[in-house]
């Protein structure tokens, strides 16, 4: 007799891979940033001297583009996605979710949000932009303590996932 069962197979692994691709892209932009820092100070194209240091105006726009890309992707992965995206789920009397950042949370009282437009509306970042877009992946929202965690599901398991969440919410699952 199991006290809890792992339902991580219901999670759409493509969404997790999407985040890893995003991290890989961030690393590439970081390496480009290092290249442009070197080029900014060692190039001889359009050079100006500021405080005794030669700076190439030719590499300033790509430097700032890479800097913006690195900072934005770091912010999105570390402060937004890793705190909200569910990577694993275990169900017993309560739901235990494992977030992308490795933190495990036990949910005793939660709401289920199926309508993605409500989730998108409530998940704004500090800059006012939509954090999760409809085209990223299909997901169900699990609201606990005014935080909405995202459960990306496989298309073929949508009904089972919703039924499972409602059963746990209504304490119908036998432990």
Q: Are strands 5-6 and 86-91 parallel, antiparallel or unpaired?
A: antiparallel
Tell me 138's DSSP state.
-
Percent of the chain residues past pLDDT 70, beyond the cut: 83
Q: What is the pLDDT of residue 164?
A: 85
The pLDDT value given to residue 121: 44
* pTM, full prediction: 0.71
Q: Which pLDDT value is given to residue 1?
A: 36
Note the pLDDT of residue 117.
64
pLDDT of residue 175: 46
90 vs 171, residue with greater confidence: 90
Each residue of 34-60: pLDDT tens digit? 999 988 888 888 878 888 888 888 888
Where do the DSSP E strands lie in 29-166? 47-50, 53-56, 86-91, 95-99, 104-107, 111-113, 139-144, 147-152
64-101 confidence digits (pLDDT tens): 999 998 988 888 888 778 888 888 888 877 788 888 88
């Amino acid at each position: 007799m199991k006290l809890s069962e792992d339902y991580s197979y219901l999670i759409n692994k493509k969404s997790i891979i999407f985040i890893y691709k995003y991290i890989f892209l961030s690393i590439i932009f970081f390496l480009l940033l290092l290249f442009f820092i070197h080029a900014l100070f060692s190039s001889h194209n359009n050079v100006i001297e500021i405080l005794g240091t030669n700076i190439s105006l030719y590499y300033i726009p790509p430097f700032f583009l890479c800097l913006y890309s690195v900072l934005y992707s770091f912010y999105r992965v570390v402060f937004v996605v890793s705190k909200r995206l569910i990577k694993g789920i275990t169900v017993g009397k309560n739901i235990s979710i494992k977030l992308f950042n490795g933190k495990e949370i036990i949910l005793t009282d939660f709401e289920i949000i199926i309508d993605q437009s409500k989730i998108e509306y409530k998940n704004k970042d500090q800059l006012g932009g939509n954090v999760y877009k409809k085209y990223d992946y299909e997901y169900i929202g699990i609201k606990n303590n005014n935080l909405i965690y995202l459960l990306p599901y496989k298309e073929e398991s949508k009904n089972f996932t919703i039924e499972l969440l409602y059963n746990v919410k209504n304490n119908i699952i036998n432990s």
